[in-house]
Structure 1
Amino acid sequence: MASPDFESRRFLQSHVADILDFYDRHALDPRGGFFHYLKDDGSVYERAHRHLVSATRLVFTQAMAYTHSCEERYLEQARHALSHLERFRHARGPLAGLYAWTVRNGRIEDGTVMAYGQAFVLLAYAHAHRIGLSQAQEVAQAFERMEAAFFEADQRAYADEITPSGELLAYRGQNANMHMCEACLAAYSATGQVRYLERARLLIERFVFDLARQTQGLVWEHYHQDWLPDHDYNRGNRDNIFKPWGFQTGHQTEWAKLLLIAHAIDARPDYVMRAAELQRAAWAHGWDGEHGGLIYGFDPARQPYDSDKYFWVQAESLASAWRLWRVTGEPEFRRQYQAIWAWSWEHMVDHQYGAWFRILGADGRKLEDTKSPAGKVDYHTMGACWDVLEAGGLRP
């Protein structure tokens, strides 16, 4: 299969349009919100269930689609998605104002409050504000709810999970904090309020510089309540997609991307240096020299732990590679960008039905037929394309 010009603005715009078309055709639920569970061919395999991560990310994808295309249908679909998001909000009790994890038939099913999910609520409202669908005060309220429920000032980090009965659990993790950093950068971009940028920088300093010193200079996933690394949490459990064990290849590069976004706002050479270190480590230990593509994760000895190929790992890593190429001019990062795209174009992109496959085996074989289960919605793939477009330096 002939490859397109991956460094072409026209290619990236066309590819995003193709992905959006898949969701336009299959995901919109006229009764409210979007369907969150689609097979490879777009057929809906679960109609009544909704997941907070999908619901928030759909606000992002529709808002960004409108931002880049100016097509009114995406403004309306972003409004549609934002309105449906409110079905997740706890109306009363100790969790009032916070957002539940899942909804079934319009009613809260799993009332757990996850910091990961609340971070995406902030991201959703930030992007809704950019296109005029929410007020700056609503962005502030999302930030302040997260602050009150999860932020531990003495630890310079957010806790992770509150049970439906209101108990804050002892588990601590980096993933929610990483996405809160992302959301704060988006909130700063949308509102210009410096407190969001300051919080993003605090999280960068805490996770990419401070805590990473405990774990070989890389970002570890799981921690005890005192923020000492928990090396056993979910060891051997490969089913928890939000809390996987090991060093996650894609989280090293996702932090690299966030470092570079923050650097673009206010130049910090140490951010660029750390971004390059994380990217190089992800490539050294995550690139599959036999089959191509980046593996899911590697262990503390930096040996492959989970060699499957996930869509989001490729997407985040090509975005960070392109930003590093633009900032440093180092050819290795441009080569990485090209290599990830070439492998993904051949294996990960579904050229028959559209969008990207979620997961493939190490050798590129299909493992399942669910195109978009809970949380996917191709937020990472379209987001990576939009990020490369924002970084610039592309051919027409």
Structure 2
Amino acid sequence: MPLPGEETEEAVEPAVQGEVEVTFRVTVPNYTPDDAEIYIGGSFNNWNPGDPKTKMTKIAEKTYEITLKFDAGTLVEFKFTRGNWETVEKGEKGEEISNRAIKVKDPGVYEFDVKHWRDFVERGDIEVGIPHTLTGHFEKFQLYSPELNNERTIIVYLPPSYKKDKEKRYPVLYMHDGQNIFDTATSFVGEWEVDETCERLITLGELRELIIVGIYNTGEQRLSEYSPWPFSGDGYSSEGKGDLYVDFIINTLKPYIDTHFRTLTDNDNTAIAGSSMGGLISLYAGFRNPEVFGMVGAMSSSFWITGGKIFEFVENAGVDNLKLYIDIGTAEVEQALKDTRNMIDLLKKLGYTDKNLLYVEDEGGLHNERFWAKRFPTMVKFFFGK
């Protein structure tokens, strides 16, 4: 995926003219599943991470290659994946890496080494040497979802008084992409600092104590689980498992949390929040089940990816009593900014006012964890502030 400000190789005059055959050969980590399919996505195929035309051939144990043709002098940027951006390669310490780049000069074989895969790092399946940054009290466990027929990691933040006051009950905030919200060691490209923020605001007396449930995404199924409707295009696809994912939260996860932790179970004390696709599924969950979720946080939401279906769904839901926090960065994709503004207009048309709708446009804000961390205090205080 092209990233602003990345450095590329200096221009060099090609040694040959015309079309050049280049073979990309890559060695993948030993823990890579034996049946894995390896792809190369880049500037030459619209950054499609699972393009059938760029599926690599296995030539040896953990080694794959593909031969492609380019005009001499072409600057080629690319990354290796296992079929989608949720399984893209990462660096030696699990960090995000810049796009790989070569200047095509002569025919030949270019060899590369993938250090880690994103989904393995984010799930915590492997240790990558990045220090953990958890602040406060946590419990972490695996929970099977009969709705989705998969298992996922759940991480639960407990407020400062939880271990001391054995009678007190607490409101709950459910958050998607759980590996990104508390811990740098498991995050994609930085964490939201949710734990540090809550500890600080609680100490300052600005925030009610609350329990936060982080639901890890499942890597390659993330887009499907976070969208209620199927879609395909531009290298992205979804089977539309959003209803099953919401069912999992309501019918399996929430009962487990309410049974094993001292929670306030009513909708006035239950919030759901996320960013990007997580914002989309949060808004959908709130309007689908307002009797469960009384508060919804939708940051930098991917309303655009549904072809407008989320607007129709919200308009027809007949729900006007949720407490909604919605935001967007003005430096995000123009369509995302336009769609977010359209959503705000629709919500106001439905009767939402400043009393139950907080809209934030972050001037210069980008679509990443750093800006979601910056805006998280505003959201959490809107829901649970004193």
> Would you say same fold, with TM above 0.5?
no
Whichever of the two has the greater Rg, that structure is 2
Higher relative contact order, structure no. (Cα contacts within 8 Å, ≥ 6 residues apart): 1
Of Structure 1 and Structure 2, the greater helix share is in: 1
TM-score, normalised via structure 2 length: 0.30
Of Structure 1 and Structure 2, the greater strand share is in: 2
